[in-house]
Amino acid sequence: MTTPASSGQLEPVDALYSRDVFSRAVMRQRLPKDVFKRLIKTIDQGAPLDHGVADVVANAMKDWAIENGATHYTHWFQPLTGLTAEKHDSMISPDGQGGVIFNFSGDELVQGEPDASSFPSGGLRATFEARGYTAWDVTSPAFLVRGTGTVTLVIPTAFVSWTGEALDTKIPLLRSMEALSQQALRILNIFGTSHGATRVFTTVGPEQEYFLIDRELFWQRPDLVICNRTLFGAKPPKGQQLEDQYFGTIPARVLACMAEVERELWALGVPVKTRHNEVAPAQYEIAPIFEMSQLGSDHQMLTMETLRRVAPRHGLAAILHEKPFAGVNGSGKHNNWSMATDKGHNLLDPQDDTHTNLQFLVFLCAVIRAVDTHAELLRGSIASAANDHRLGANEAPPAIISIFLGDMLQDILDQVEKGQLKRTLKGGTIDLGASTLPMLPRHSGDRNRTSPFAFTGNKFEFRAVGSSQSIAFPNTVLNTIVAESLDVVATELERAVGKTPTPARVQAAAMALLKKLVKQHKRVIFGGDGYSQAWHEEAERRGLPHLRDTVDALAALKARKYSDLFKKYGVLNKSEYDSRLLIAYEKYNKELGIEAETMVTIGRTQILPAALAYQRRIAEAVTATESAGVKCNDTVASLGEFVNLVSRLQESLATLEKVAGHHDDDPARHAAWIRDKVKPAMAQVRTFADALESQVAAELWPLPSYREMLFLK
Ligand code: ADP
Ligand code: MG
């Protein structure tokens, strides 16, 4: 498709922004006033939606979509694969006179029925009862997706089984926001600061890291094509040692690709803002302005899809895997998170005199309590085979969940513990020493890159989220554990202040509570180097859970107290919870099973033949040299070593094949087998194959090298 960006004629951005979104502005224009009002009431306040309204909206949406070239519509949903799904239907109906008309009814807008049997349900639904429904999510606007010669109206939906159980990632997210809202409002009521707010939303701004490599090279690597990561590859001579990549100049082709991704996303209403080079060669980042969580989460899925879709137009492939290349930095997704009232007040904004802002401190300490109490859940929400390569591997935050607060808040919590709040540390200004340069305000705390959960100004940043994963579940967990914490906190405060809360009573109750919370939960706060061995030992002394990998993390999630928690706050019932756990195990087992199989195939059909060809070449050189009457003992010796390496590769492939063929009906036990037997066997194969790569003649090696993939811009 020729796009405006690739043809060199750029549309002005103001015409582009939200061009393809059935936005509030479009609805205001196209809907009768009362219908518009009722719809907005549903979107903003959660009021029930009636059918008459849906019919009118459907009709307006259809007209708008058709005027923009659409022929088809789809209910877009997020099944438990962690991806998105869609099934397209045209908007055509028979006109009753042998012809067709475009038609799209309220029924079609509100409810769809894709065949649900091929999506993972984790036992929620047997194949013979395959019914699943999609239901219109009014809070996330419909949009148009343009493909070559086709435009499709996309309607964000939730996905449920016919028994009403959530089969997707969106429903629990919405429920968790509801739960948090209820509890947060109680706190605002105690402080008398709701200012007419009727809801509290959680907000999210996810920073996405990804790699872009040449597409031709990508297609020559079956491991990248099938597993999204390289299973083989000797380290490049130049890795990250020079630190010249981070924030470096963006290569021209990459910049063109990024620009096109941004323009497509703006047209879809996704407010992407930041772009830059990341730490590893060929690694980049894209970040939006934050939005309400459910919208931010939908937009994050669109961002990932758009990256994958646009990159090939520039001869590139976008790789979103957490660890596509060994030995260079992996990719994560910093999940910036906060809570705000529907009046726009950010509840995690400390404001200038933070030590007088008790309400902020109550919200802050409730989050600290939540993270400490439910660290295992948070850890589990980001557990995956892919993320196991990052967490704790001295590049991403460690698998131990801790919180970084910065000097100013740390100082305030110290004061809380002593029972008196007196001051707020100020950052002051930085004088650059040249009168033409401005004075810069200095933040009162530096950044800490090694913390998995850091307070950054007026929000928390959950940094352990994986780059390829949907942010819906981690946010569902975060919202639910904070809802629980706010519930406990509100109950205690309500009891302490009684029926007639005076400001003095509220203040005294809040101080007493804060003191207790800090004492109980300060063990989770850590401002030092999270990568260091010293911290691992310290964390153990503090009794913080350290779930090293997915197998350990998922095992911890089986505890009854966790499924009870989700049930209590109406986020997931027991079978919905269990199904997600089961799917996480299945995903781990399947992914690694596929990796092992791919490794064996590449090893046998590409690497081994190349190694044998080279072996033959050396052997022939020896024969030729010696028959010419010249001794070549060194070459004979290295031939011996080479043959030895080749046979070790063969042995390791046989071992891998054997352990990977193991079967176990119990998914948890199978996962442990994979971790303990299959992964080490894969590591063995890789060691020998990578050693061969550095010896075999380059022209015989069948796979593009790390150097080619990472440094060809
Ligand atoms: P940095 O991580 O470098 O401090 P920013 O301050 O620009 O960068 O923020 C990074 C991300 O955090 C952006 O996506 C931004 O929109 C998001 N963000 C900022 N404020 C909030 C908030 N209140 N809630 C959720 N995300 C936020
Ligand atoms: Mg950040």
Distance 371 CA to ligand 1 centre (A): 20
Specify the pLDDT at position 430: 66
Please name the residue that has the structure tokens 């010419």. Answer: 628
Please name the residue that has the structure tokens 């557990």. Answer: 383
> What six digits make up the tokens of 536?
């691992």
> What six digits make up the tokens of 283?
């690694």
Distance 388 CA to ligand 2 centre (A): 21
Distance 447 CA to ligand 2 centre (A): 9
Specify the pLDDT at position 245: 66
Q: Which atom of ligand 1 is nearest to the CA of 290?
A: 16
Specify the pLDDT at position 247: 65
Residue 337 Cβ inside 6 Å of ligand 1? The answer reads yes
* Atom 3 in ligand 1: residue holding the nearest Cα: 456
Q: Is the pLDDT of residue 554 over 80?
A: yes
Specify the pLDDT at position 9: 66
**Cβ pair 567, 687 in contact under 8 A:** no
Q: Is the pLDDT of residue 244 over 70?
A: no
**Cβ pair 473, 553 in contact under 8 A:** no
Q: Name which residue leads in pLDDT, 3 or 591.
A: 591
Residue 232 Cβ inside 6 Å of ligand 1? The answer reads no
Q: Which ligand number lies closest to the CA of residue 293?
A: 1
Distance 207 CA to ligand 2 centre (A): 7
Q: Is the pLDDT of residue 215 over 60?
A: yes
Distance 675 CA to ligand 2 centre (A): 32
Distance 81 CA to ligand 2 centre (A): 27
Q: Which ligand number lies closest to the CA of residue 333?
A: 2
Q: Is the pLDDT of residue 596 over 90?
A: yes
Specify the pLDDT at position 677: 98
Q: What is the average pLDDT value for the chain, to the nearest integer? A: 91
Q: Which ligand number lies closest to the CA of residue 299?
A: 1
Could you report how far apart the first and last alpha carbons of the chain are, in Å? 23
Reduced to 3 states, what is the DSSP secondary structure of residue 152? strand
Choice among 101-105, 167-171, 556-560 with the minimum mean pLDDT: 101-105
Bridge partners for 337 per DSSP: 204, 460
Which amino acid makes up residue 152? T
What is the distance between the alpha carbons of residues 181 and 551, in angstroms, rounded to a whole number?
33
Angle in degrees, 0-180, between the axes of helices 633-660 and 574-602, rounded to the nearest 10 = 150
Which ranges constitute the DSSP H helices of 661-703? Answer: 667-673, 679-693
Query: What does the DSSP assignment read for 332-384?
Result: BEEEEEEEEETT--BTT---TTGGG-HHHHHHHHHHHHHHHHTHHHHHHTT--
> How far is CA 155 from its chain centroid?
22
4 pLDDT tier (thresholds 50, 70, 90):
very low
The Cα-based distances of 137 to 181, 495, 501 in angstroms read 18, 38, 39
Q: Which ligand number lies closest to the CA of residue 458?
A: 1
60 pLDDT tier (thresholds 50, 70, 90):
very high
Residue 456 Cβ inside 6 Å of ligand 1? The answer reads yes
**Cβ pair 460, 337 in contact under 8 A:** yes
Distance 456 CA to ligand 2 centre (A): 8
Distance 146 CA to ligand 2 centre (A): 31
Query: Could you tell me the sign of the dihedral formed by the alpha carbons of 677, 682, 685, 686, in that order?
Result: negative
What is the distance between the alpha carbons of residues 280 and 243, in angstroms, rounded to a whole number?
8
Residue 290 Cβ inside 6 Å of ligand 1? The answer reads yes
224 pLDDT tier (thresholds 50, 70, 90):
very high
Q: Which ligand number lies closest to the CA of residue 290?
A: 1
Residue 288 Cβ inside 6 Å of ligand 1? The answer reads yes
Q: Is the pLDDT of residue 449 over 80?
A: no
Q: Is the pLDDT of residue 125 over 70?
A: no
Q: Is the pLDDT of residue 3 over 80?
A: no
19-34 in b/e form (b: 16+ CB < 10 A) is bbbbbeebbeebbeee
Residue 363 Cβ inside 6 Å of ligand 1? The answer reads no
Which span out of 102-111, 269-278, 366-375 was modeled with the highest average pLDDT?
366-375
Q: Is the pLDDT of residue 183 over 50?
A: yes
The Cα-based distances of 328 to 48, 548, 591 in angstroms read 51, 20, 21
Residue 289 Cβ inside 6 Å of ligand 1? The answer reads yes
The Cα-based distances of 227 to 315, 386, 467 in angstroms read 20, 10, 15
**Cβ pair 433, 508 in contact under 8 A:** no
Residue 347 Cβ inside 6 Å of ligand 1? The answer reads no
H-helix or E-strand containing 186? helix 170-191
Q: Is the pLDDT of residue 11 over 80?
A: no
* DSSP annotation of 234: P
Specify the pLDDT at position 442: 65
Q: Is the pLDDT of residue 147 over 90?
A: no
Reduced to 3 states, what is the DSSP secondary structure of residue 565? helix
Residue 579 Cβ inside 6 Å of ligand 1? The answer reads no
What does DSSP say about strands 403-404 and 453-455: parallel, antiparallel, or unpaired?
parallel
Q: Which atom of ligand 1 is nearest to the CA of 336?
A: 26
What is the distance between the alpha carbons of residues 549 and 561, in angstroms, rounded to a whole number?
21
Specify the pLDDT at position 2: 40
Distance 115 CA to ligand 1 centre (A): 39
Specify the pLDDT at position 669: 98
Q: Which atom of ligand 1 is nearest to the CA of 206?
A: 14
Specify the pLDDT at position 191: 95
pLDDT digits (tens, 9 = 90+) for 460-500: 999 999 999 999 999 999 999 999 999 999 999 999 998 88
6 pLDDT tier (thresholds 50, 70, 90):
very low
Q: Is the pLDDT of residue 42 over 60?
A: yes
Specify the pLDDT at position 132: 83
Pocket test for ligand 1, best of 459, 461, 479, 482 (most atoms within 8 A of CB): 459
Averaged over 679-684, what is the pLDDT?
98
Reduced to 3 states, what is the DSSP secondary structure of residue 92? strand
Which amino acid makes up residue 221? R
Please name the residue that has the structure tokens 């994560």. Answer: 332
Specify the pLDDT at position 1: 39
Specify the pLDDT at position 83: 87
Distance 427 CA to ligand 2 centre (A): 20
Give the list of residues 6+ apart from residue 324 with CB closer than 8 angstroms, or none.
211, 224, 228, 229, 230, 330, 331
pLDDT digits (tens, 9 = 90+) for 346-369: 999 999 899 999 999 999 999 999
Specify the pLDDT at position 277: 86
Specify the pLDDT at position 278: 84
pLDDT digits (tens, 9 = 90+) for 264-280: 999 999 999 988 888 88
Listed residue (94, 103, 102, 85) closest to 155, CA to CA:
85
Residue 205 Cβ inside 6 Å of ligand 1? The answer reads yes
**Cβ pair 267, 275 in contact under 8 A:** no
pLDDT digits (tens, 9 = 90+) for 407-421: 999 999 999 999 899
**Cβ pair 511, 419 in contact under 8 A:** yes
What is the distance between the alpha carbons of residues 146 and 70, in angstroms, rounded to a whole number?
9
530 pLDDT tier (thresholds 50, 70, 90):
confident
Give the list of residues 6+ apart from residue 413 with CB closer than 8 angstroms, or none.
365, 405, 518, 522, 525
Q: Is the pLDDT of residue 87 over 60?
A: yes
- Note the pTM of the prediction, 2 decimals: 0.94
Distance 59 CA to ligand 1 centre (A): 37
